[in-house]
């Protein structure tokens, strides 16, 4: 007992010493990440741990926040009375029981020039939605939690889940048709709570926030598929990628579909990486990659191993993205914490 206590305390002081002294091992490890800041990449849990629980549900957020060091992503939608809710799809019937509760609520609206039919949050006051519950949006996942959890308001997510917050605003102009100001809503949230990231695929929306959010809030421009048109500039996202310095004027980072970085052929093999991560870093922009989930079809080059895919984006010897948006936050955290920079870590053990 005494001996082992002694051994422990010696080991403890040794560890303390190692922590206090920025030795060569620590320096080597710190420089191992090729992110813009040199820090380890961030993990962003899309709608919480949405691979297991319904996207944007209480348990999805609580599980992601309590077990891991990940940021919490909320897709912000506004109700008729201007209350923000987190929901993965603008069509509420895609991910809630709304069509059962309001069978006559189906509407058709133009969303960024595209006609959409379904149930929309702008037709309901927040009180009307009390009994609406969440459903899985991806049908191959478990139905065990369908109908068990009510909608989460943005304010609840920001005030209760202890984790960095990421608010994504996918459709600003849609809400203005209903006299709802997404901008005022987001600004009021960012005054009352810590909002770490705000992302949007709309240039005019992000520009309207520049200088009005706290200095610690990162504005992130989200790229959609290359052929789609950005509504406020009429340019395609593909063409906007060629001028990253213009994006730097209103954002500190970009979020891209993962195929922008590692394209995949039609027969599902991985092509050589593009230069987009280096281009973004040269322009002073952080770059986050989206669309990761353990149950999505992976390129054959990963041999069905999602860890191998994450490692391609963060530990390939050439570049590292600044963050990963995922439905399964545990897996990239494993990739970052246990499987990355193994070549360097081996050197560290050598020093010890």
Ligand X SMILES: *[C@@H]1O[C@H](CO)[C@@H](O)[C@H](O)[C@H]1NC(C)=O
Name the site residues for ligand X (rule: CB under 6 A): 89, 94, 127-128, 130-131, 137, 139, 178-179, 234, 243, 245-246, 269-270, 272, 301, 315, 317, 343
First-last CA distance in the chain:
25
Bridge partner residues of 197 (DSSP): 166, 218
Q: Which is nearer to ligand X, 65 or 244 (CB)?
A: 244
Give the residue at shortest CB distance from ligand X.
246
For residue 101, the minimal CB distance to ligand X (Å) is: 7
Q: Please name which of 245, 241, 217 lies closest in space to residue 227, comparing C-alpha atoms.
A: 241
By beta-carbon proximity to ligand X, the closer residue of 128 and 226 is 128
User: From the CB of 65, what's the least distance to ligand X, in Å?
Assistant: 25
CA distance 107 to 104: 9
- Compute the least distance from the CB of residue 222 to ligand X, in Å: 16
SS (H, E, C) 28-92: HHHCCCCCCCCCCCEEEEECCCCCCCCCCCHHHHHHHHHHCCCEEEEEEEECCCCCEEECCCCCH
Q: How far apart are CA 20 and CA 83, in angstroms?
A: 47
314 in Cβ contact with 2 (< 8 Å): no
Q: How far is CA 94 from CA 1, 73, 178, 323, in A?
A: 60, 18, 21, 27
Q: Which is nearer to ligand X, 155 or 291 (CB)?
A: 291
Q: 195 or 224: whose CB is closer to ligand X? A: 224
- Reported as half-sphere exposure (CB side, CA atoms, 13 A), residue 127 has a value of 1
For ligand X, the closer CB: 151 or 165: 151
Report in angstroms how near the CB of residue 152 gets to ligand X at its nearest.
17
- Residue 269 Cβ, how far from ligand X at the closest point, in Å? 5
What's the token pair of residue 327?
């439905």
In the complex, the smallest distance separating the C-beta of residue 107 from ligand X, rounded to whole angstroms, is 12
> At 311, which helix (H) or strand (E)?
helix 306-314
Name which of 4 and 179 has its Cβ closer to ligand X.
179
Q: How far is the CB of 256 from ligand X (least distance, A)?
A: 17
Which is closer to ligand X, CB of 213 or CB of 270?
270
Beta-sheet pairing, 286-292 with 253-257: parallel
């Amino acid at each position: 007992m005494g001996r082992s206590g002694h051994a422990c305390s010696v080991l403890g002081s040794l560890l303390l010493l190692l922590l206090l002294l920025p030795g060569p091992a620590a320096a080597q490890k710190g420089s191992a990440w090729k992110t813009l800041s040199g820090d380890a990449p961030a993990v962003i849990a899309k709608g919480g741990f949405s691979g297991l629980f319904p996207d944007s549900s209480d348990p999805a957020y609580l599980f992601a926040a309590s077990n891991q060091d990940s940021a919490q992503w909320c897709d912000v939608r506004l109700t008729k009375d201007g209350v923000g809710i987190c929901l993965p799809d603008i069509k509420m019937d895609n991910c809630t029981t709304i069509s059962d509760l309001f069978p006559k609520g189906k509407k058709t609206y133009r969303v960024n020039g595209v006609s959409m039919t379904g149930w929309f949050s702008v037709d309901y006051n927040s009180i009307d939605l009390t009994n609406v519950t969440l459903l899985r949006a991806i049908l191959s996942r478990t139905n065990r939690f369908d109908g068990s959890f009510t909608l989460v308001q943005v304010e609840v997510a920001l005030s209760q889940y202890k984790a960095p917050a990421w608010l994504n605003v996918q459709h600003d102009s849609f809400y203005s048709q209903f006299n709802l100001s997404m901008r005022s809503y987001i600004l009021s949230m960012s005054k009352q709570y810590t909002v770490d990231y705000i992302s949007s695929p709309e240039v005019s929306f992000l520009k309207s926030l520049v200088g009005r959010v706290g200095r610690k809030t990162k504005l992130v421009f989200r790229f959609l598929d290359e052929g789609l048109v950005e509504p406020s500039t009429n340019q395609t996202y593909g063409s906007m990628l060629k001028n990253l310095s213009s994006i730097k004027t209103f954002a500190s980072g970009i979020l891209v579909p993962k195929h922008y970085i590692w394209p995949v052929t039609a027969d599902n093999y991985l092509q050589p990486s593009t230069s987009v991560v280096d281009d973004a870093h040269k322009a002073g922009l952080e770059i986050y990659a989206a669309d990761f989930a353990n149950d999505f079809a992976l390129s054959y080059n990963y041999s069905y191993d999602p860890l191998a895919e994450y490692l391609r984006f963060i530990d390939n010897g050439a570049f590292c993205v600044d963050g990963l948006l995922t439905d399964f936050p545990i897996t990239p955290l494993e990739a970052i914490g246990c499987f990355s920079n193994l070549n360097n870590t081996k050197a560290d053990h050598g020093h010890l």
